[in-house]
Copies of this chain bind each other. A is one copy, B any other.
């Protein structure tokens, strides 16, 4: 079946029935504007469940003042076509008024892990993410939920939330999908001018540089960050918001790397009014 559900009582009823029938449910939470990255999440979800639900909801509480909530691209018909073609059984696309009725005031706060990196640049962002994902989990009762690795901190934050609040939901990460030249797929790439689009490959190239330099034995995180910053600044008009080498799980930043560390290299760069993020994981080799 390919069903679009837009009401909360209906999704609760459908998912309650699926649960009673013993079906395994996978949720793929998205803000719509689906691209090939999202479609790999749906394919991944199908491996783990009988029924795949793709949620499409541009969540206002994870956007800060002055961010791109208003202009964020929306096209539900196109999203439904793509999601169903990729194998999603349902699309759940609730209205903002039903998700956040007047007086709605409860939030889920993930603490310090939501206050670094993206959380530092976007105060309140991860409180909004954690809250809406908690709501979606309660509404759809998934056994597993699949998230893209491009939002690496989101993954870390949601793993903490699931652990701390004892959600019985498995969090599955799907790899970043990239264009041929390395640019990570993002719904925000449509904002880029032709020139910015070419320059945006510096994000991926700086991540590859980090891999190379750590592989060569550099252990001073600040030196790696300096070289990444230089690459981006010299070869693009991008303004670096942050570049970070941090512990993969806790997101605590490293100054010196140690053999065996599993690190998340992440960055955010602005091109005009468009802010892009990217990341990679590096296991520091034992010598």
Contacts and interface: CB of A to CB of B under 8 A. Distances in A.
Contacts of A138: 165-168
Interface string A78-118: 00000000000000000000000001111111111100000
A130 B109 CA distance: 12
A108 B108 CA distance: 5
Given A8-B166, A167-B138, A106 B108 contact: yes
A19 B131 CA distance: 25
A71 interface: no
A161 B106 contact: yes
Contacts of A111: 105-107
A20 interface: yes
Nearest to A136: B166
A240 interface: no
B106 A164 contact: yes
A166 to B, nearest CB: 4
A112 B168 CA distance: 29
A233 interface: no
A139 interface: yes
- Number of chain copies forming the complex: 2
Given A16-B168, A168-B16, A109 B106 contact: yes
Nearest to A20: B22
Given A20-B22, A138-B166, A113 B108 contact: no
Contacts of A141: 168
Interface string A147-170: 000000000000011011111100
A135 interface: yes
A12 interface: yes
Nearest to A113: B105
Contacts of A110: 105-106
Most buried by B among A112, A135, A165: A165
Nearest to A94: B166
A185 interface: no
Contacts of A171: none
Contacts of A109: 106-109
B106 A165 contact: yes
Interface string A6-27: 0010001000100110100000
A23 to B, nearest CB: 11
> A-B pairs with the 6 shortest C-beta distances?
A105-B111, A106-B164, A138-B166, A135-B166, A104-B164, A139-B166
